[in-house]
Amino acid sequence: MEKFVTEIHTQWNNFQSEAVKAGATIEMTDSFSAKLNELTVTLTEQQLYEGIIASNGLYEKSVAFEGLFKVKSPPDIRRVLYYLRDAVYRSLKGEQGRGLTAIEAAMSTWETVKQQLDDVSIANKLEYSLKELKQAIIEKDPNLIKIKASIGEKNIQDAIKEMEKQTQE
């Protein structure tokens, strides 16, 4: 575990100057560093739930850097994935209010990015899966939340693949 964590910190150190050169702000790099340090502490202290939340938070911080580079799909589609996961983790931990806030953020972010997806069928599937996950969170059923989350993640991955394919055409 220590070797893995050290490697992440090394890669981050190598990437920082490239990110700043591409336009990353001090706030972006400091925020990522703080979240990486938080993840490291939770992993070394074996705090599973906190580690999952920190890991997802680090993922969200990494999305900001995508906007600085040429990417095949819009960074906000990955932000939808972050919010979906946050909603699931929070809801399964009994933090329904925070879970609902996160799924609503996923839905709101999806509204801004869905216009960039040409395949209406994939867009509709993703939108419906977010709505169904929200309903599962409201119903507070852990199995239903896991099922709907799995479907939602798959639909987001399908949307990402389709958006990447669109940029190649």
pLDDT of residue 3: 84
Residue 134 has pLDDT above 90, yes or no: yes
pLDDT at 169: 66
Mean pLDDT of the chain: 93
The pLDDT tens digits of the residues spanning 77-119 come to 999 999 999 999 999 999 999 999 999 999 999 999 999 999 9
Helix boundaries (H) for the chain:
2-22, 26-44, 48-66, 75-92, 96-113, 120-139, 142-168
pLDDT of residue 125: 98
Nearest of 96, 126, 98 to residue 110 by alpha carbon:
126
Task: Kindly tell me if the per-residue pLDDT of 168 is higher than 90.
Answer: no
- For the entire predicted model, the pTM comes to 0.86
Residue labelled with tokens 């693949």: 161
pLDDT of 78 reads 94
Q: Where in the chain is the domain with CATH 1.20.120?
A: 71-169
Residue 72 pLDDT more than 90? Answer: no
**What are the tens digits of pLDDT across the range 135-144?**
999 999 999 9
**CATH architecture of the domain covering 71-169:** Up-down Bundle (1.20)
DSSP 93: T
CB 68 within 8 A of CB 19: yes
Identify the pLDDT of residue 99.
97
